[in-house]
Structure 1
Amino acid sequence: MVDVYLFSGFLGSGKTTLLKHMIQQMKKEGLKPAVFMNELGKLNFDSEEVEGGVPLKELLEGCICCTGSEKSEAQIQTLLAEEDFDVLLIETTGAAHPVEALDAIFSPLFAEQLHFKGIVTVADSKRWFDRNSLSPQVRSLFLEQVRHGDLILANKMDLLTEAEQGQAIYEIQSLNPSAQIIQTVQSKVPFQALKRMTVSGKSETVGAPLAKLNLGTKVLEFARPVNRETFEQWLRDLPETVYRIKGYVPLEGDKYPHSFQYAYGMAQWLPEFMSMKPQVVIIGEEIQQVELP
């Protein structure tokens, strides 16, 4: 399986700088990284920062989490089919919500090939103090990126006074108590800090325990067709921490599994006319105990 790290963070926070540092460190450890980058514009100047020889796919003119969802799946599927690599680094656009980004990249077609390690949020510490000057919608996105981080890099600490540094860490930790926070300058952090991120969240870090992931993924495979009413009752009984489900559900009496999407308590069924692997991907918090009916 390929380890996957999702780099989240607001515009200009330092995600691309982090990406460069990680590529260099991974290569020194003998690992081969691949990169998937998202940019809202027609040109992605950040892709020029990726070293030669590193497999790279891009999504331009669209956000990974909305209009570009299907294209994102196709690009990652192409990477998996055509390239040989150990780690996939995904850099989202600064306008991407972490939940939506995960939904876009974990397709039931290849989810079992990916080992999701967690979300690394690069938080601009200077902007943190200016967040109330942002529009309500933008401020909400900024805070959501921090709230869903599993590892938070409180970046640009050199731009703050010592008192401001302490205040920023306290406030960020209050918003996301389960995340480990590392103070950084120019997004410099050892790769070991990322490697310690695990789905179980039981790994220990120097100075503080890394609690359970805020967001995780789980692949569930059907052993047999299910009754639609039984399945929909199972959906109604799911905990509120299940945010997304997508995949292919085999229903009793139908030749092919149905394409299935679930979000915010609403389900969507679409008929398929070919045999697809009967499995679904679940995205949410505290989902390890969720099983099929």
Structure 2
Amino acid sequence: MVDVYLFSGFLGSGKTSLLLNVISQIKESGRKPAVFMNEFGSLSIDSDAVENGVPLKEVLDGCICCTGSEQTEAQIQSLLEENKDIDVILIETTGAAHPVEALDAIYSPIFADQLNIRGIITVVDSKLWLDRSRLSPQIRALYMEQIRHAHLLLANKSDLLTESEMATVSMELANYNEAAPVVQTIGAKIAFSYIEKVLHSTKEKSDTSIISGKGLPLSSKLITFTESVSRDDFEEWVKSLPETVYRMKGYVPLEGSINPHLFQYAYGMVSWLPEYVKMTPRLVIIGEGIDSIKYE
């Protein structure tokens, strides 16, 4: 299992600074990091800062959560196949990525059993937080969603605000996302050992599920099928799930079919597609408060 950390945050918040800082710390500890980076434009800019010798894959000219989702899956699969000795994958999303869709894009049922997704670290521009009312409604909604779904919040650029302003930022962030610790940072500098401690302390694993933090805002779960299921029964089970299930995707073995069908679910909408090759029958669930969900 390879540990995965997803770095989220709005444009210019300091994600790349966090990435470079963490890479150095992981290497100093004797482990091998790899990087997956998403840049919104067609030119590779931030990825040029990643030092040579660190395995790197990237998606350009699109967000991993929408136009580049298929490319994301292919690039991460390639990263795993070409680098058997990596210990940690650090994923930096574009500032326009919604954390739910970003997690959905990287957590493919094809390689879900190889990844141990530890959680989402969101870098918050503290000055922008105080000025968030100036953002357009759509952009502000994305900015707030990136914060709400984080497992750890970095209140970055604290040197640009007064102590009183930073106290306000920290308190308001803590109230908005009660589950995520808030750490004030300058240059997004934070001990990786602290990130590990925070995200590993709430991590629970079993043979049938992978959960990114019990009780935290956003988690993922893997369900493996041992026998074929009725399509009608399965869809009834889907309807019974709580509204906090945002995404599901995977390969479901249906009665009467030779190969499992590709199943996708997003905010109440269901789709099925036949597969012409035999895929491993398993399903990824992404949402909030999904620890107890199982298919029987």
User: Normalized against structure 1, the TM-score is what?
Assistant: 0.95
Kindly provide the CA deviation profile for residues 29-74 of structure 1, in whole angstroms up to 9, marking residues without a partner as x. Answer: 1110000000110112100111110000010000011011110000
Structure 1's unaligned 5+ residue stretches are: 204-209
Distance 1:112 1:284 in 2: 18
Q: Secondary structure at the match of 2:159?
A: helix
Give the counterpart letter for 1:237 in structure 2: S
Q: Structure 1 residues 153 and 41 mapped into 2: Cα distance closer, same or farther (>3 Å)?
A: same
Write out the 4+ residue segments of structure 1 that deviate beyond 4 Å after TM superposition. Answer: none
- Does residue 7 in structure 1 map to residue 32 in structure 2? no
- Equivalent residue, structure 2, for 1:223: 226
- Equivalent residue, structure 1, for 2:207: none
Alpha-carbon shift at residue 265 of structure 1 (Å): 1.2
- Does residue 241 in structure 1 map to residue 251 in structure 2? no
Distance 2:202 2:141 in 1: 26
Distance 1:213 1:184 in 2: 22
Q: Structure 1 residues 19 and 9 mapped into 2: Cα distance closer, same or farther (>3 Å)?
A: same
Alpha-carbon shift at residue 89 of structure 1 (Å): 0.2
Alpha-carbon shift at residue 239 of structure 1 (Å): 1.4
Q: Structure 1 residues 252 and 211 mapped into 2: Cα distance closer, same or farther (>3 Å)?
A: closer
Alpha-carbon shift at residue 102 of structure 1 (Å): 0.5
Q: Is the 8 A contact 1:15 1:187 kept in 2?
A: yes
Distance 1:287 1:53 in 2: 38
Q: Is the 8 A contact 1:248 1:277 kept in 2?
A: yes
Give the counterpart letter for 1:232 in structure 2: E
Q: Is the 8 A contact 1:215 1:284 kept in 2?
A: yes
Question: How big is the alpha-carbon RMSD for the aligned residues of Structure 1 and Structure 2?
Answer: 1.4
Q: Is the 8 A contact 1:150 1:178 kept in 2?
A: yes
Give the counterpart letter for 1:5 in structure 2: Y
Distance 2:238 2:182 in 1: 35
Alpha-carbon shift at residue 251 of structure 1 (Å): 0.3
Distance 1:109 1:100 in 2: 17
Q: What pairs up with 1:137-176 in 2 under 5 angstroms?
A: 137-176=138-177
Q: Secondary structure at the match of 1:196?
A: helix
Alpha-carbon shift at residue 198 of structure 1 (Å): 3.6
- Equivalent residue, structure 1, for 2:258: 255
- Equivalent residue, structure 1, for 2:209: none
Kindly provide the CA deviation profile for residues 167-213 of structure 1, in whole angstroms up to 9, marking residues without a partner as x. Answer: 1111111110110010000001000121123477279xxxxxx9732
Q: Is the 8 A contact 1:120 1:153 kept in 2?
A: yes
- Equivalent residue, structure 2, for 1:287: 290
Give the length in aligned residue pairs: 287
Q: Is the 8 A contact 2:118 2:203 kept in 1?
A: no
Alpha-carbon shift at residue 286 of structure 1 (Å): 1.6
Q: Is the 8 A contact 1:5 1:90 kept in 2?
A: yes
Structure 2's unaligned 5+ residue stretches are: 205-212
- Does residue 177 in structure 1 map to residue 178 in structure 2? yes
Q: Secondary structure at the match of 1:197?
A: helix
Q: Secondary structure at the match of 2:198?
A: coil
- Equivalent residue, structure 2, for 1:123: 124
Q: Is the 8 A contact 2:224 2:283 kept in 1?
A: yes
- Does residue 89 in structure 1 map to residue 90 in structure 2? yes
Q: Structure 1 residues 211 and 130 mapped into 2: Cα distance closer, same or farther (>3 Å)?
A: farther
- Equivalent residue, structure 1, for 2:270: 267
User: Normalized against structure 2, the TM-score is what?
Assistant: 0.94
